[in-house]
Amino acid sequence: MVKKEVVKRDIILIACVLIAALAALLIINLTKQSGTVAVIYTNNEEYARMPLDVDAEIVIYSDGKEANTLVVQNGKAYISSASCPDKICVNTGSISNENEMIVCLPNKVIVVIEKEN
Amino acid sequence: MKKAIFAVMIICLIAFVGCGKTDLQYQKQYIDAFDTVTIIIGYAANKEAFATNADLLYEKLCEYHELFDIYNTYDGINNIKTINDNAGIASVTVDNAIIELLEFSVDMYELTGGKMNIAMGSVLKIWHEYRQNGINSPDDAELPYETELKSAAEHTNIENLIIDKENNTVYISDPMMSLDVGATAKGYAVEKVCEYAESKCIGNISISCGGNVCTVGKKADGADWNVGIVSPFGNNNEYIRSVKVHDAAVVTSGTYQRYYEVDGKKYHHIIDPETLMPSELYLSVSIISKSSAESDALSTALFNMPIDESKRLIESLEYTDAVWILADGSIVISSGLSNNTERELKIQW
């Protein structure tokens, strides 16, 4: 009889621990900040992080020279002007989905959309 | 009894923590190697661990880039440019990777009836110069003269490439001939990097280097990789089709990758060895096979073949399929491919 009692209490205890763990996981996941950013890389190094929810304009310098201008507007990023001859980066248009990219090969500039934790 | 219960609780907790630590998918991109963008996608416990692995693979890719470079020389390395610079002068001792790449390229020349020829350097060099000039000063863009191309084409006989496998040397016996490994080097290098990844126990990865995608294993959740075929009509983020693959390579040659304009007409970089002009049959050709090197070489060769001939070659090869986007925009797929959904293809092998 005593033994059964112990088992019952232990089960309740286990259940409580499990519920607490679940609740903790939930809280952690719900409070996670998940902003979307346009991350600029020049020469394979991170150059700047531009949150997509803030309209902004940034001039990107690559190898000390004015290379590209990135505009963040209405949750999207695009390159508005560039010093490269081919303008492929400008013609790529705007990006906003995770892992989408704008590449400027001549200036060695990559802009990629990343999710921030 | 109490101890047992305590143990169960601890196991439960560990299981919970363990769940949170499943490897996540990460992506890292680089610019430079093979003058294009390299994207490495893989899995790791955290971003830093993934970056360490990705950097290791990218470094390896850069090593191959230096070996296969035809434009630049590097200290202490004999590369393809060294071989070209010594055409008609001397044989050059090179790394085994160069011997392997060149032998493979000769095999592919034979397989494709010469529709992909690495000995075409003299012709491709002319197009390269005109293209660069055209991109840098669009108003002065010109086409190469036919006479210029034809006289260069007299120095493209692949038999003048002498590979001595035993002594690891390469010699070009025609002083006017030069190698351009643009149709095979990237694919071969990416394949070697994937093999290197496997040797380092880095599995479940996808390496994309300027249109060359090579996958090792599946995605971490066991699903196939979904490799996009870039739309020749949109920007580089738009896909016209995708192919579900694992342990396979998808390589696309497209008119949109490198081109310039003369009098409003686009001239791309894939030059037909017979006409010496950019082939106008397709907008892009994608090859799916188990070898990224083979996919790369075939995508160029098939680009220069009429669709019937192109199809015949693909159907004669095992574990090799193709997606052709014809000049009018229509899409043709080989028999080993089928539609999974409207825009998604799957391979039957």
- CB neighbour list of residue B166: distance below 8 Å, 6 or more residues apart: none
d(CA B100, CA B103): 5
User: What average pLDDT does range A34-46 have in this prediction?
Assistant: 93
User: Do A25 and A47 have their domain in common?
Assistant: no
Burial B92-119 (b: 16+ CB within 10 A, else e): bebbebbbebbebbbebbebbebbbbbb
Residue B34: its chain A contacts at CB < 8 A?
A: none
Do residue A14 and residue A56 come from a single domain?
Answer: no
Closest Cβ opposite residue A101 in set B9, B13, B29:
B29
pLDDT digits (tens, 9 = 90+) for B334-344: 999 999 999 99
Contacts of B32 in chain A (CB under 8 A): 43-44, 108
For testing contact with chain A, the best of B29, B46, B208, B231 (most A CBs within 10 A): B29
**Do A77 and A103 fall into the same domain?**
yes
So what's the pLDDT on residue B254?
95
The first and second tokens of residue B243, run together, are 């192919």
- If asked whether residues A54 and A25 sit together in one domain, one would say no
- The number of folded domains in chain A is 2
Measured between beta carbons, the chain B residues lying within 8 angstroms of A10 are: 1-2, 5
A85 with A56, same domain? yes
**Amino acid identity for residue A8 in this structure:** K
Pairing status of strand B225-230 against strand B169-172: unpaired
Class of domain B37-64+204-347: alpha beta
Q: Strands of B87-144 (E only): list them.
A: 92-93
The 8-class DSSP code of residue B157 comes to -
Residue B30 has pLDDT above 80, yes or no: yes
Pair (A104, A52) in one structural domain: yes
- pLDDT at A57 > cutoff 70: yes
pLDDT digits over B33-67, tens only? 999 999 999 999 999 999 999 999 999 999 999 99
Q: Which residue among A17, A44, A103 sits closest to B9, beta carbon to beta carbon?
A: A17
Query: Between these two residues, B3 and B291, which has the higher pLDDT value?
Result: B291
Rounded Cα–Cα distance for residues B21 and B306 (Å)? 52
Q: Domain range spanning residue A109?
A: 35-116
**Domain segments of chain B as ranges:** 37-64+204-347, 80-172
* pLDDT tens-place string over residues B261-302: 999 999 999 999 999 999 999 999 999 999 999 999 999 999
Contact across the interface for A85 and B30, Cβ inside 8 Å = no
How many beta-carbon pairs below 8 A join chains A and B? 61
The radius of gyration computed from the CA coordinates of chain B, to the nearest angstrom, equals: 23
Secondary structure E strands in chain B? 24-31, 37-44, 92-93, 161-164, 169-172, 205-209, 212-216, 225-230, 239-245, 249-254, 259-262, 265-268, 282-289, 320-326, 331-333, 337-339, 344-347
Q: Report the residue of chain A nearest B55, measured CA to CA.
A: A44
For B80-172, CATH number? Answer: 1.10.3980.10
* A55 and A92 co-located in one domain: yes
Are A52 and A90 within one domain? yes
ipTM (interface predicted TM)? 0.85
Residues B91-113 have pLDDT tens digits of: 999 999 999 999 999 999 999 99
Average pLDDT of chain B is: 94
Same domain for A17 and A56: no
User: Within 10 Å of residue A2's Cβ, how many Cβ atoms?
Assistant: 5
Both tokens of residue A96? Answer: 């906003």
Same domain, A50 and A77: yes
Beta-carbon neighbour count of residue B179 at 10 Å? 28
- Whether A51 and A94 map to the same domain: the answer is yes
CB B55 within 8 A of CB B40: no
The pLDDT-based confidence of A16 (bands split at 50, 70, 90) is confident
Please check whether residue B237 touches A, CB under 8 A.
yes
Q: What is the pLDDT of residues B179-233, one digit of tens each?
A: 999 999 999 999 999 999 999 999 999 999 998 999 999 999 999 999 999 999 9
Cβ within 8 Å of residue A99, ≥6 positions away: A112, A113, A114, B27
Interface with A, mutate which of B8, B137, B237, B261 (most A CBs under 10 A):
B237
Residues A88 and A56 in one domain: yes
